[in-house]
Structure 1
Amino acid sequence: MKQAAKEFKVLASVSDFTQHFGYPNPAHPLLTIIDLAQVRHLVPPSGPALRHMYIISLKKNLKGRIHYGHRTYDFSEGVLGFYAPGQLCESNPTLDISELSGWLLVFHPDLLNKYPLGKKIGSYGFFSYDVHEALHLSAREETMLDTLMDSIRAEYEQPIDAFSQDVLISQLEVLLSYANRFYHRQFLTRRTAEHDLLSRFEALLNAYFAQDGEQPLPTVQYFADALHVSPAYLSDMLRTLTGQSTQQHIHYSLIEKAKRLLLTTSLSINETAFQLGFEYPQYFTRLFKSKTGLTPAAYRFSAH
């Protein structure tokens, strides 16, 4: 029997969000700031909700095991989470929030529409991270972000005028710049854990391309799923430790296998492409030439 689809609430606006959770009404139609210490007594609504807005949350004094992938985190002072429009959320009943403090910054994409940040925000990979890939702050970093949030809150509480949105956007961009810096710090301070993840990724990559016979082209999602992390997190980790994204690693291994097949088998160029998982040989030829400067046929000829 087909399983019934899970019902969820759609939160299309900032006011939808505050009403759903029982939070105070927003003072701005496109943005709100929630003091978590003031709302921790509220019972979270059951069931998942689909939110059409960006959310940045700094949560402190959570009681319970919070995992970073399959590991408990090592920065216990604060946990900074990022959520993009269209992501489902559901309350975690295992956490004790009786002493919860911190803040939520919630803003609608329309807030950014006429600003460069509206385009730039898509480059921040942490907005597509899984929940267990939150940023774990040091005490100093937490203080810095709290100070920034105080400035945003002061502007948020002012009467709206012709400059309000410009000021809020500039402050938000500073906050995101610091968050980006702290995320890259996290990859370095977690060097042991991340090198372990890198080793497992390389082992998976090598094993995949060591297989004989036709194989589908591997995707970034395939390796992220196998390692239990999100594609954005995997690529950010690899860029920090190796300078290359997941896709670049895949292409490198793909081209290396292509070279071996071209030099050690009598497969035609088309057969080589199919063996590697390409549906259309011309795509293989295009990728091979872009990475080596030679067509597959020219490479095979040059080696003889």
Structure 2
Amino acid sequence: MKIEKTIDFINKQNPKSRIDLIKIEDIKSKQTKDHSSYQFHILKFYALLFVTDGNGDHFIDFNSYSCEKGTVLFIGNGQVHRFSETSNLKGFLLPFHDDAFNFLNIKKLTNILQLFNNELITPKIQLDNDTFLGLKNKFEQIKKEYLAVNDTHSNQIIAAELYTIFSILQRQSNTNHDINTKSQHLIKFLAFQDLLIEHIFNTSKVQDYAKWLSISGKTLNYIIKSITKKQAKTYINEYYLLRIKRVLMNRELSIKECAFQTGFEDLSNFHNFFKHHIKLTPEQFRRKYS
């Protein structure tokens, strides 16, 4: 059984495509007993949310982000998100898999996925009106190619529009992103993140990750602190707690199974650890967010 229950997407216009474009209004109007956009769920893909009208909150990894016309949200692969029932947002959701740009032959644009790394930039940016209008036109052109044209030239046109969209968003991303992506330590940090995703339920020791990266624990701590402003142990513990929260969203697992699958052999230790850090029991957290 997969301990973190994820959802994926299929492009109904082109099932082989690794990218899609969906109107936010359509997502919110299609609620089923098996899936509701108002409930937290983990994405098995990346998603760009572009708001063209309305206002309301959107939740990413249990944090709330206020949205309005011109808001762009970056939702990463593996993150938890949901729409708010009280929001009246309109716009577009652009879901894609990490190989989508190879599918569209976009080779010039690098570091696209860094936009979706919350340690490098915040998940939200707010566009000025001129930039908003420019991006809105690009999204409308992509929608036209998908729904109205969809001929042999469509992929090339969509690729060109996406190239422009992501280039503009990279320019608009905050100052912290500019500093971090130029950091000499970025490659090691990204490798560390990959290791953390794979091994967090097996070890939270700084030395283990340092060994796998062939560096000292002191160097790893320096790298993490230079990018996140956090000590390595603090960063690892916070990520560990986030992953536990995501696992708790899988209601197919009992609390005891969640504890075991996330590295705890004793249920009481799991309860104590979680409540100490989150100030809620695992059961209370699950009831609050699922």
So what's the TM-score if we normalise by structure 2?
0.50
- Higher relative CO (Cα under 8 Å, sequence separation at least 6) belongs to 2
Point out the structure with max Rg over C-alpha. 1
